Chain A
């Protein structure tokens, strides 16, 4: 019997929130109020505004001649607190910069989006997106972003 009254109490709270938000949204809908109440966003038509300092997925930049800016110095991998950047360096035989990445992988499944890698990069080769939060994948392995994925616009 006690449990029954507890359930009723809970339903009362639910009903209160429902009615309050229904009331608020009705007022908003007919233009009497600016407060929308607690209503789910209609994503993707509607998008929540991101904060101006949010940094999201990584981009590898290219130089004017199409070459990757990255020289495989490992500073991002060293700075990374989640240790999710994996690099393999190789010799670049014809370029004066001598060194380039053969493989450059960021594991976004592990990434903490702290931005230290961008900060550490001496070549401005790595940057992060501002307002594109779509980073979902069906597979964990697809979250390993390689050079191809990181340079795609």
Chain B
């Protein structure tokens, strides 16, 4: 905001200093006062249509919407007077006259803002018993979006998101008054790459996700902070899982959805659809046991077989999907055993100017810091990580998460854990080291790449245990050297 002048305001008796031009609702948040809101979202332009955020400002006769009012020096704001409480109740009552109250079949139940506010600010019985307005239900908006106009509270967050953030503008508000609904413009479908964010933005269950629809109630989900692996941006995500056999008895699905996590320096509030819907590789089509020449074997048999490569020329193809710790561990292991190292990456894809970057690997920067480069050779033995695309080698040992065609021709295929099943750090394209946490136990007999490295070290008869924390420190040392350059 212009000038960057700091002003002081008082919200509910708490003094706070903010930049001039900040919106009142944000300033109050900084003072630790939460003002209820339905239409306001930090990432969108304020609209001021829901009237939940009205506050009283000393010197003004009427309450003003906190999401549309910039702060002035010396403003004294009250957010919790009896009149305002009464006002909020009435706003909620108006919305609830036309709301279908089908929470039992609504996927949003449990994380619905309207539900929360009803319990916080309203708690009154219905006084309106006329027939509800009938509106279109179950409208497919394209991709994975389903719209239910009856549940919609017309906050227009979705319209503003598509107008100002993706700038595609597929949605508009149609009709007037009680009949108004959000609709697609003629001949349009929501097919941009950020459509999934509408589900997160919608404060109620009007926009739900076809991919998640009816799969699981949200209160059964465990949330683990993680980082998206699908491009070098490294968007901060939350993995929602349920592995409880009592509430997830009939399906083998463990990960149910991916939600964005706010990080103003990386992805702000959004993630792209690619990241949102590609969690399926964590549960489907996995390799769960080691394979020797296409036949299932035990890890012991693998250890025995690994001794065959002692004394032969080895090239290890590390991948840009490995964590910083794993990369440095394997690099050190390679140096100990005099292996040649190179790097495998997923080929670059398309990018846009919002989040997605062309580099489709989470840790290319980390690999570069360690001095790993793409390339190959014709050594006898190749140890290949994640991408089955090496050059000519006599013996090929692969370490993969998911099954692929031609797997039987490999001398050895070892099952690796996916990013959701281990802990570590990735360095994104900005050079930020970001931590992803373990959400699940490794599927079947799969192991994280560090532990697989330990098996190699054991087979070669050297002492080099996998200690993640130590490797993390080692990497940070390397990083300091690199950034000082």
Q: Is the CB of A122 within 8 A of B104?
A: yes
Q: Name the A residues within 8 Å of B351 (CB-CB).
A: none
Report the separation of the CA atoms of residues A91 and B211 in the bound assembly, to the nearest whole angstrom.
12
Query: Which of B104, B219, B220, B250 is A88 in contact with, Cβ under 8 Å?
Result: B250
Q: Name the A residues within 8 Å of B215 (CB-CB).
A: 89
Q: Name the A residues within 8 Å of B214 (CB-CB).
A: 72, 89-91, 99
Please, how many residues of chain B have a CB less than 8 angstroms from a CB on the other chain?
16
Chain B binding site: helix, strand, loop or mixed by DSSP?
loop
* Chain A 66-99 residues near chain B, CB threshold 8 A: 71-75, 77-78, 83, 86, 88-91, 96-99
Q: Name the A residues within 8 Å of B103 (CB-CB).
A: 73
Q: Is A35 at the interface (CB under 8 A from chain B)?
A: no
Q: Is B251 at the interface (CB under 8 A from chain A)?
A: yes
Task: For residue A134, give the distance in angstroms from its CB to the closest CB of chain B.
Answer: 27
Q: A73-B104, A74-B217, A89-B214 are in contact. Are A96 and B251 (CB under 8 A)?
A: no
Q: Is A123 at the interface (CB under 8 A from chain B)?
A: yes
Q: Is the CB of B105 within 8 A of A78?
A: no
Task: For residue B352, give the distance in angstroms from its CB to the closest CB of chain A.
Answer: 33
Q: Name the A residues within 8 Å of B249 (CB-CB).
A: 86, 88, 105
Task: For residue B232, give the distance in angstroms from its CB to the closest CB of chain A.
Answer: 37
Query: Which of B105, B137, B246 is A99 in contact with, Cβ under 8 Å?
Result: B105
Give the interface centre of B138, B220, B250, B251 by most chain A CB atoms within 10 Å: B250
Name the residue on A nearest B101 (C-beta). A122
Could you say which interface size class chain A belongs to?
20 to 34
Q: Is the CB of A78 within 8 A of B246?
A: no
Q: A90-B214, A96-B137 are in contact. Are A73 and B246 (CB under 8 A)?
A: no
Residue-wise, chain B 237-262 has the 8 Å CB interface mask toward A (1 for contact) of: 00000000011011100000000000
Residue-wise, chain B 219-241 has the 8 Å CB interface mask toward A (1 for contact) of: 11000000000000000000000
Residue-wise, chain A 16-39 has the 8 Å CB interface mask toward B (1 for contact) of: 000000000000000000000000
Q: Is A50 at the interface (CB under 8 A from chain B)?
A: no
Q: Is B213 at the interface (CB under 8 A from chain A)?
A: yes
Query: Which of A75, A83, A97, A122 is B246 in contact with, Cβ under 8 Å?
Result: A83
Report the separation of the CA atoms of residues A26 and B219 in the bound assembly, to the nearest whole angstrom.
63
Give the interface centre of B137, B213, B219, B251 by most chain A CB atoms within 10 Å: B213
Q: Name the B residues within 8 Å of A98 (CB-CB).
A: 105, 137-138
Name the residue on A nearest B245 (C-beta). A86
Q: Name the B residues within 8 Å of A123 (CB-CB).
A: 104
Q: Is the CB of A78 within 8 A of B217?
A: yes
Q: Is the CB of A71 within 8 A of B250?
A: no
Task: For residue A104, give the distance in angstroms from its CB to the closest CB of chain B.
Answer: 10
Q: Is A151 at the interface (CB under 8 A from chain B)?
A: no
Name the residue on B nearest A102 (C-beta). B250
Name the residue on A nearest B215 (C-beta). A89
Name the residue on B nearest A72 (C-beta). B214
Q: Is A103 at the interface (CB under 8 A from chain B)?
A: yes
Q: A96-B137, A99-B214 are in contact. Are A77 and B250 (CB under 8 A)?
A: no
* Chain B 194-216 residues near chain A, CB threshold 8 A: 213-215
Q: Is the CB of B250 within 8 A of A78?
A: no
Task: For residue B118, give the distance in angstroms from its CB to the closest CB of chain A.
Answer: 15
Q: Name the A residues within 8 Å of B213 (CB-CB).
A: 91
Task: For residue B219, give the distance in angstroms from its CB to the closest CB of chain A.
Answer: 7
Report the separation of the CA atoms of residues A44 and B213 in the bound assembly, to the nearest whole angstrom.
49
Task: For residue B206, give the distance in angstroms from its CB to the closest CB of chain A.
Answer: 14
Name the residue on B nearest A73 (C-beta). B104
20 contacts across the A-B interface (CB closer than 8 A) = A71-B104, A72-B105, A72-B214, A73-B104, A73-B217, A74-B220, A74-B247, A75-B104, A77-B247, A78-B219, A83-B246, A86-B246, A86-B247, A86-B250, A88-B251, A91-B214, A97-B105, A98-B105, A98-B138, A99-B214
Given contacts A74-B220, A88-B249, A88-B251, 6 further A-B contacts (CB under 8 A): A73-B105, A73-B217, A74-B217, A83-B246, A83-B247, A99-B214
Q: Which 5 A-B pairs have the closest CB atoms?
A: A73-B104, A88-B250, A99-B105, A89-B214, A86-B249
